Amino acid sequence: MHYALKIRLILVFFLCTHVIPLNASVGPQIIDIDVEQLRKLKLNLPNIDLLGVDFPAGLARLRLSPQELTTLQSMDVDYKLIQKPHQPMFAAQGYLKPDEVIQKLNEAATQHSNLAEYKEIGRTTENRPIGALKITSSAAHHTPKPRVLFNCMHHAREVMTTEVCMDIVEQLLNQYTIHPEVTHWLNNLEVWVVPQVNPDGNARVHQQDLYWRKNTWTRYGHVQGVDLNRNYPEGWNSCNGSSDLFISQTYRGPTPASEPETQAMIDLVASIKPTANISYHSFSEIILFPYGCKGRHNPAKDLFISIAELMQQEIIDDKGQAGTYRLGTAPELLYNADGTDLDFQFKAHHVLAYTIEINSRDNGFHPNYQQWRDLTVRRQRGGWQALLERVSKEAIRVVFTTRSRVYYRLYQQKRGVQVLWDGGNTQAPYQTLAPDGALHLPVEQGNYTLNYYIPTQGIYKFISVPISKNLEDWLVIHTND
């Protein structure tokens, strides 16, 4: 054996026996820090895994690699060690797995064929179906029907969120004709529920990694994963609100909308044009709305806040109290997040899109199923029901009879003339209508002007539009086809 090779082998042996066992024995650690330190920490540790926050206690919970912990220790930041490695706080036992979700959705569609229809909206990296349920009364023929979307589990470890979506399905289907409000909603609205945006990641949570967050995007045979809620094309990689490192929990993906799960949601939103949306996440007990980047102007922010307050009043937190969820944008409450579904839905389609982060720091991602599952979903009902109720009240409701493509822009006269529903997009402010010709936007009191354009008919008009009080009351604009 050559001398140099011998040295190299000794070196390899040395590294193997000393470095690798050390790494293997020290895994990620969970700590709490002062929430005010979060932004400071993000500067030095841009890829930290923020699990959630506890605003009443003023704490943020993080999961750090040994290297990150060493960096943290050198930064003179106070922290409290919560969990030693390899000691999961709770298991995901009891929570639904991907195949069980699909089975339950299909059963619901079969048992309530007058109300529910199963739709596969896409396939994942591992070819799992991404299932959705469309829920509306087929007996009632009020048209058009505005749509509301509820989606859960962009992030795999947030197992309680799927339970909330499944509870929405059960409540709507079982309470139709029993509960007058549910009957009214399903006669006049179309509700879409996607209980698991990220079934591949969730399978991994159940099989091997309780803290897996991303999908299972694979590179050179290794599962790396993309954070689906940093992969949307709107503002992708625009404000340091995601990572370009594969290992990061907020890895944004190689290109905007690179992931099939993201693409499935983009296609769904574009095809149904929902009036409003809730994306359920966990944990933190907060309600978020666009935009995810600091300094980015949301022209409809007052409206977002007023509707968030309605939900806030009805949601009950893990301590049993109502009205405690914090409201704000990601940079207001935490820090920048770019490429999120909220920003995409609002800017591209004018959706009143919210994120609700359920459960507290005490419960984390995997609350004990027996103790917390039913309690949590029951305590969330007031939130999504408040949204359906608000969508049913004051709104601009216009429907065009034409089959041609209609483009619109809505202005609110407020302190002079102000464009309200452009999503802040001055480059391409015109939006296309829903496939059924409906424009449905819950708005604040005020004077509104609709500017619409039908290219095939050469029509370009400004009209003043009233605010309708209820879902049966539409301004019909007849146009010849």
Residue 143 DSSP symbol: S
Kindly tell me which of 146 and 292 has the beta carbon lying closer to Zn ion: 292
- Those residues with Cβ within 8 angstroms of residue 276's Cβ, 6 or more apart along the chain or in another chain: 148, 149, 307, 351, 352, 353, 354, 387, 390, 391, 442
Nearer to Zn ion, 281 or 440 (CB): 281
CB of 281 to Zn ion, least distance (A): 3
Nearest CA-CA partner of 197 in 240, 229, 235:
229
- Token pair, residue 419, equals 């464009």
**Rounded to whole angstroms, how far apart are CA atoms 262 and 450?**
32
- Least CB distance to Zn ion at residue 359 (A): 11
Cis peptide before 88 (omega within 30 of 0): no
Q: Which is nearer to Zn ion, 344 or 448 (CB)?
A: 344
- Distance in Å, CB of 362 to Zn ion, minimum: 18
Q: In the complex with Zn ion, which residue's Cβ is closer, 340 or 412? A: 340
Partners of 193 in beta bridges: 133, 150
Positions that interact with Zn ion (CB under 5 A): 155, 281
Q: Which is nearer to Zn ion, 280 or 448 (CB)?
A: 280
Contact indicator for 238, 214 with CB cutoff of 8 Å: no
Tell me how far CA of residue 443 lies from CA of 179, 466, 473, in angstroms.
26, 11, 15
Nearer to Zn ion, 176 or 283 (CB): 283
* Encoded tokens for 1: 């054996």
Between the two ends of the chain, the Cα-to-Cα distance in Å is 86
DSSP 283: S
Enter the tokens of residue 412: 């609110």
Q: How far is the CB of 154 from Zn ion (least distance, A)?
A: 6
CB atoms within 10 A of CB 30: 20
Taking the complex as a whole, the smallest distance from the CB of residue 265 to Zn ion amounts, in Å, to 14
For the CB of residue 427, give the shortest distance to Zn ion in the complex, in Å.
30
Q: Which is nearer to Zn ion, 157 or 440 (CB)?
A: 157
Q: Among residues 337 and 396, whose Cβ is nearest to Zn ion?
A: 337
CA 68: distance to chain centroid?
Answer: 28
| Short-list 220, 201, 224, CA closest to 211 | 201
Q: Which is nearer to Zn ion, 214 or 281 (CB)?
A: 281
CB crowding 387-415: b at 16 or more within 10 Å, else e: bbbbbbeebbbbbbebeeebebbbbbeee
Does residue 19 contact residue 53 with C-beta atoms inside 8 Å? no
Which of 213, 373 has the CB closer to Zn ion? 213
HSE on the CB side for 11, CA within 13 Å? 6
Q: How far is the CB of 365 from Zn ion (least distance, A)?
A: 9
CA distance 358 to 282: 5
Interatomic CA distance for residues 54 and 341, integer angstroms: 23
CA distance 330 to 239: 12
Query: What's the closest the beta carbon of residue 108 comes to Zn ion, in angstroms?
Result: 25
Cα–Cα dist 175/169, whole Å: 10
* CB 289, min distance to Zn ion, A: 15
Instruction: Give the dihedral sign, CA 417/422/428/430.
Output: negative
Work out how close the CB of 319 gets to Zn ion at its nearest, in angstroms, rounded to a whole number.
21
Query: Residue 62 Cβ, how far from Zn ion at the closest point, in Å?
Result: 15
Rounded Cα–Cα distance for residues 97 and 74 (Å)? 41
Q: Name which of 341 and 422 has its Cβ closer to Zn ion.
A: 341
